[in-house]
Structure formats: structure tokens, C-alpha cells
């Protein structure tokens, strides 16, 4: 027997670097015959305002067979096909030119491998046509596209029926005479968390969804219920034509709701379908950490090699990163197959502890990336990320895991408090180096003023003294201690320097 199932996996995953049809591309038309002899013309179906779900597979492909037996497309077709809401159509395309039609039936005479009968129990049309696979630039199987009535095409993962329908509802669908909608809406920021302030510049596409030409429209922008901008557009758009528009930039300094509302269409105060006229975004204040040491715990799902993260400063510069470097910050959803594994790639279903060292108080952000585009939880393992203050590992400050390609989180560090050190900077400098420490750490104290009695100790995160640092009394002090830390347990340590009735502290981490 041929080893075709193994080859199927290799093809499904190793060809991932080839170009797929880009998101939003105009769907190539086809007018083809299915295996029962019926002809189907894609553009005629779209012109009838139907959404099309197109799966392009190969009979020898094990992931394709698994997805087929999950009945996601069968269930979707039953709910929203001609016998359901009649909103969409589904097509299965066998796209390998080297297979014959017998392989679809799992019959003798199949010139390649086929695990079974693909036709039995499939209520939607099956098309054996490699030309469609070529036109849609297929580089792995299965590939699933949602094709909207405006002919724009979007690739999706192997989703269940409910998730496919949710994605399909993002398609603009024409209805009535005077009708328009706001689509491809973006606030201009990846974040929904405000750390001191956040700049947004909402943009969108105004699409005509009525049979009458769209000649005018007003779009209002509200912040916490107050009108801040109005766009007054004029032009001439036929059905499904669109105009890209954007508001001026807006600075957000407090939590609230940003709303863009289509308030007038062709001089009318409302149109015939209000479901696509409002886009709301809720912004919250960013979480804040109390120190520059952050403990991050990551639990990977069943595909740990798909995870990558990047820590950035307020200017957007990457100051730390981890996970699979082959995925990188731009790899979210870019590998529907499987990404190559670079150095530092995480194992699957594993908990990883990382220490993030922030250079100074301020605003930061962290980006979590999933190469496949289905997040870290929950379809393929209960993955997550959790960030803690290093000295309070029982209290989660920031967490997540349910996202698609990327999850962007903003946060602050020491924004609301003044370090004890700042109160004494003019009198004394206390430092620990290197930080984090490994085998040794040097504690140094420098002051140019005469002080009262001085003493210092090093304590662990439980408050237990692990090292005494005897100090001379009175006078000018310039003291330094080199401590051997190789045998110390990893964790957070604090140098406590008492100067009379005042306390100066310095934290450092033992890795």
C-alpha cells in the first residue's frame, strides 16, 4: 500500500509558505459541473446575494477526512442552506489533479488513497475540478474560504458550524432600496486598554447595500455618549461599491465607549437595515503592576510551537520575546499548516514560567501570537497566559488565552506610586547588580551625607532574613558586598537598608 496518508500530512503542512489567495481578494469566478452533472456559476450565486462557503480538499488528506467527518459544513448547510435560512451555499471541491472521481466514492479503481466515501451523507454539491484549486492558489489541504456577495474572499480555519456562521455574518449582504453599512471597521489601535492615554483614529468602509445608488451619508463618532466628530460623505456608489473613510485622531484618557454610527443615508435619517450601522468599542484602564519584575506563566495548548510573545516599551520597541521565533510578531494566523520550530519553541501542553524585567516605571504592552489563528484556548487544549507581580504570585494581574491570531494587552508599571528610593535619591543610592542574578550579586550603598546608625539585611519573598549586611555607624558611607547566591532558591529578594527610622529597599531576582 502507498504511504499516501503520510504524504498528505507533508503536503498539508510543508507547503504553507506558498501564497494563498490574500484576504479581501476578489474571488475567481467558476462555471463548473458537479459529480451529478449539475452546473454551478459562482458569480450568479453571489449576484443572488448568497454567501458561499468553499472547501478545497483532497481525498487522500487525513486532516480533510477528519474535518469532513466532523460534519461542520453539513450542519452549516442544514441550518443556513436552501432548506434552512437560505442565506448561503456550500461547495466541496476535490482539488488534486492526480485523483480520479472513484476516490470520492472510496471505490475500487481509485488511483490514489481514499479513506472512505466522501459522497455519502454530503447534501451540498461536490465538484472534482483541480482548476478551482489553482485559481484560488491552494497550497495546503483543506483550505476553506468564505466568499461574500460582493465577491471578496476570506480564508478561515477548520471551524465548527456555529463559528463558520459567525464569520459568514461579517459579509455585507444587500437588502432593500436605500441601505448602507459600516464594514472593515478599525479603531486604529490594537489595544482596548488605556495606559495614561491612547491615540485612536477610526477607519472603515462605507458600503452601499441598497438597490438605489448611495449618494450621501452621515457618520457620527461619539465618545461616552458625546458627539465628537461627524463625517458628511457625498458620492455615487452602486450596490456593493464602497468608499474608504476615516475620522480624525482622538486621544482617550479615561475608560469609556467609542461609537461610530451611520446616522443618515441618501438624506434619510435611517436605512432599511440597522444591523450594520453601529460599531461600538469599549476601552478600559490598563492593569498596573507594582514593580519592574513581573512573573509570566504560559500554558501551551496541544500546539506549543504555534505560540510567540513580544514585550514592548511605550514606543513600541521589542524589549523581550519568547516562544517560537519562526512565528514572530507578524505570524498570527499566517501558518494554517504548521510553522517551523526555531530555538526557544515551547513544548505542547506545558507550563512555562518567565520573568519579565521592565527597565523603568511606565507604560508597556505585550503581544501574544498564535500561528494558526485560533488562540491558546480552548478547542485544542486549555492554554492561557497569566501575569503576576513577582512578589504576589497568587494574584493574577493580567490574563487571557481566548483570541484568534493576536492578543495585544497594554499595562503600566509603578505609574501610581513613588518608589521609596526616590525619596532618598539625594541622600543615598542603593543598588544590586547584576539583576537578575545567577551565582553572585553585588550590593552597593553610596551616600555623601552623614547618617544615623545604618544596618542592612537581605530577605526572601517570605520576609525571612537570608543574609546580614553589617554597616559602620555614622559618617560618610561607601559600602559594597559581594554575595554568593548560587545555592539560593530562585525567586525575589529584597535588600532592606535601615537609616535611623527610615527604610530604603532594593529588589533583585535570583534566577
Which H or E run contains 74? helix 72-80
Query: Helix, strand, or coil here: 282?
Result: strand
State the first-to-last Cα distance of the chain, in angstroms, to the nearest integer: 54
Q: What is the pLDDT of residue 11?
A: 39
Q: Are 159 and 239 in contact (CB under 8 A)?
A: no
CATH class of 288-413: mainly beta
Per-residue HEC secondary structure of 326-381 comes to: CCCCCCCCCCCCCCCCCCCCCCCCCEEEEEEECCCCEEEEEEEEECCCCCCEECCE
Q: Are 253 and 223 in contact (CB under 8 A)?
A: no
Residues 6+ apart with CB under 8 A from 490: 509, 510, 511
Please say whether the dihedral angle defined by the alpha carbons of residues 265, 269, 275 and 279, taken in this order, is positive or negative.
positive
pTM above 0.85, yes or no: no
CA angle 390, 392, 393 (to 5 degrees): 75
Tell how far CA 416 is from the center of its chain: 29
With both helix axes pointing from N to C terminus, report the angle between 4-14 and 62-69 in degrees, rounded to the nearest 10: 90
Q: Which of 451, 447, 443 is nearest to 467 (CA)?
A: 443
Which H or E run contains 23? none
d(CA 8, CA 261): 48
Second-level CATH architecture of 4-168: 3-Layer(aba) Sandwich (3.40)
Identical topology for domains 180-285 and 420-510: yes
CB atoms under 10 Å from CB of 37, counted, come to 6
d(CA 117, CA 161): 21
Joined together, the cell numbers standing for residue 499 give: 537609616
User: What does the CA dihedral 480, 486, 491, 496 come to, rounded to 10 degrees?
Assistant: -20
Q: What is the pLDDT of residue 18?
A: 42
Domain boundaries, the chain: 4-168, 180-285, 288-413, 420-510
d(CA 81, CA 168): 12
Q: Which of 348, 310, 308 is nearest to 327 (CA)?
A: 308
Q: Are 445 and 451 in contact (CB under 8 A)?
A: no
User: Any idea what DSSP says for residue 276?
Assistant: G
b/e map of 389-406 (b: 16 or more CB within 10 Å)?
bbbeeeeebbebbebebb
Fold that domain 180-285 belongs to in CATH? Immunoglobulin-like (2.60.40)
Contacts 24+ apart (CB under 8 A), 309-318: 309/366, 309/367, 309/368, 309/369, 309/385, 310/366, 310/367, 310/369, 311/356, 311/364, 311/365, 311/366, 312/364, 312/365, 312/366, 312/367, 313/359, 313/362, 313/364, 314/195, 314/362, 314/363, 314/364, 316/365
Pick the CATH number of 420-510 from 2.60.40.1930, 3.90.1010.10, 1.10.540.10, 2.60.40.10: 2.60.40.1930
d(CA 345, CA 404): 19
Q: Are 271 and 262 in contact (CB under 8 A)?
A: yes
φ, ψ (nearest 5 deg) of residue 288: -130, 135
CA atoms within 13 A on the CB side of 161: 16
What is the maximal distance between C-alpha atoms in the chain? 100
Surface-to-core class of residue 253, CB atoms within 10 Å of its CB (0-12 exposed, 13-18 middle, 19+ buried): exposed
pLDDT tens, residue order, the chain (511 aa): 222 333 333 333 333 334 478 889 999 999 999 999 999 999 999 999 999 999 999 999 999 999 999 999 999 999 999 999 999 999 999 999 999 999 999 988 899 899 999 999 999 999 999 999 999 999 889 999 999 999 999 999 889 999 999 999 999 999 999 999 999 999 999 999 999 899 999 999 999 999 999 999 999 999 999 999 999 999 999 999 999 999 999 999 889 999 999 999 999 988 999 999 999 999 999 998 988 899 999 999 999 999 999 999 999 999 999 999 999 999 998 887 789 999 999 999 999 999 999 998 899 999 999 998 999 998 889 999 999 998 888 889 999 999 999 999 999 998 744 334 444 444 567 788 888 888 899 988 776 555 555 677 887 765 567 888 876 655 556 778 889 989 888 877 878 777 665 667 777 888 8
Please say whether the dihedral angle defined by the alpha carbons of residues 339, 22, 406 and 160, taken in this order, is positive or negative.
negative
Query: Helix, strand, or coil here: 454?
Result: strand
Q: What is the pLDDT of residue 473?
A: 55
Q: What is the pLDDT of residue 417?
A: 42
Residues 6+ apart with CB under 8 A from 203: 185, 186, 188, 244, 245, 246, 247
**Upstream peptide bond of 142 is cis (omega within 30 degrees of 0):** yes
Amino acid at each position: 500500500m502507498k504511504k499516501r496518508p503520510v504524504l498528505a500530512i507533508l503536503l498539508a503542512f510543508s507547503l504553507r509558505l506558498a501564497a494563498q489567495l490574500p484576504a479581501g481578494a476578489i474571488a475567481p469566478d467558476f462555471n463548473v459541473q458537479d459529480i451529478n452533472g449539475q452546473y454551478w456559476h459562482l458569480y450568479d450565486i453571489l449576484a443572488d446575494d448568497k454567501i458561499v462557503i468553499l472547501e478545497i480538499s483532497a481525498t487522500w488528506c487525513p486532516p480533510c477526512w477528519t474535518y469532513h467527518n466532523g460534519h461542520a459544513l453539513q450542519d452549516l448547510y442544514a441550518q443556513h442552506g436552501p432548506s434552512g435560512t437560505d442565506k448561503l451555499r456550500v461547495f466541496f471541491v476535490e482539488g488534486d489533479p492526480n485523483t480520479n472521481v472513484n476516490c470520492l466514492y472510496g471505490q475500487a479503481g481509485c488511483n490514489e488513497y481514499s479513506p472512505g466515501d466522501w459522497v455519502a451523507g454530503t447534501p451540498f454539491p461536490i465538484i472534482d475540478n483541480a482548476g478551482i484549486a489553482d485559481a484560488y492558489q491552494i497550497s495546503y489541504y483543506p483550505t476553506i474560504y468564505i466568499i461574500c456577495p460582493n465577491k471578496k474572499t476570506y480564508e478561515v480555519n477548520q471551524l465548527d458550524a456555529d463559528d463558520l456562521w459567525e464569520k459568514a455574518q461579517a459579509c455585507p449582504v444587500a437588502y432593500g432600496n436605500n441601505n448602507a453599512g459600516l464594514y472593515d471597521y478599525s479603531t486604529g489601535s490594537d489595544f482596548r486598554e488605556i495606559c495614561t492615554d491612547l491615540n485612536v483614529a477610526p477607519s472603515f468602509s462605507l458600503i452601499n447595500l441598497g438597490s438605489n445608488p448611495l449618494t450621501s451619508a452621515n457618520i457620527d463618532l461619539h465618545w461616552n455618549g458625546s458627539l465628537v466628530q461627524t463625517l458628511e460623505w457625498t458620492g455615487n456608489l452602486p450596490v456593493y461599491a464602497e468608499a474608504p473613510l476615516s475620522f480624525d485622531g482622538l486621544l482617550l484618557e479615561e475608560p469609556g465607549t467609542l461609537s461610530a454610527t451611520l446616522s443618515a443615508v441618501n438624506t434619510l435619517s435611517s436605512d432599511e437595515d440597522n444591523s450594520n450601522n453601529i460599531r461600538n468599542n469599549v476601552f478600559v484602564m490598563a492593569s498596573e503592576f507594582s514593580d519592574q519584575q513581573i512573573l509570566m506563566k504560559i500554558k501551551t495548548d496541544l500546539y506549543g510551537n504555534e505560540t510567540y510573545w513580544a514585550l514592548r516599551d511605550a514606543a513600541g520597541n521589542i524589549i523581550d520575546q519568547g516562544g517560537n521565533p519562526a512565528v514572530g510578531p507578524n505570524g498570527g494566523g499566517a501558518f494554517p499548516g504548521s510553522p517551523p520550530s526555531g530555538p526557544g519553541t515551547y513544548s505542547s501542553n506545558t507550563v512555562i514560567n518567565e520573568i519579565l524585567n521592565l527597565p523603568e516605571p511606565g507604560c508597556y504592552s505585550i503581544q501574544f501570537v498564535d500561528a494558526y489563528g485560533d488562540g491558546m484556548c480552548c478547542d485544542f487544549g486549555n492554554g492561557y497566559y497569566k501575569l503576576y507581580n513577582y512578589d504576589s504570585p497568587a494574584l493574577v494581574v493580567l490574563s487571557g488565552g481566548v483570541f484568534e491570531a493576536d492578543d495585544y494587552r497594554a499595562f503600566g508599571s509603578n505609574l501610581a506610586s513613588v518608589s521609596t528610593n526616590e525619596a532618598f535619591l539625594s541622600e543615598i543610592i542603593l543598588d544590586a547588580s547584576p539583576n537578575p542574578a545567577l551565582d553572585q550579586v553585588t550590593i552597593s550603598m553610596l551616600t555623601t551625607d552623614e547618617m544615623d546608625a545604618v544596618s542592612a539585611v537581605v530577605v526572601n519573598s517570605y520576609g525571612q532574613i537570608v543574609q546580614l549586611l553589617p554597616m559602620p555607624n555614622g559618617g560618610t558611607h561607601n559600602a559594597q558586598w559581594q554575595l554568593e547566591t548560587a545555592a539560593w532558591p530562585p525567586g525575589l529578594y529584597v535588600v532592606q537598608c535601615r537609616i535611623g527610622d527610615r527604610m530604603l529597599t532594593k529588589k533583585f531576582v535570583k534566577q
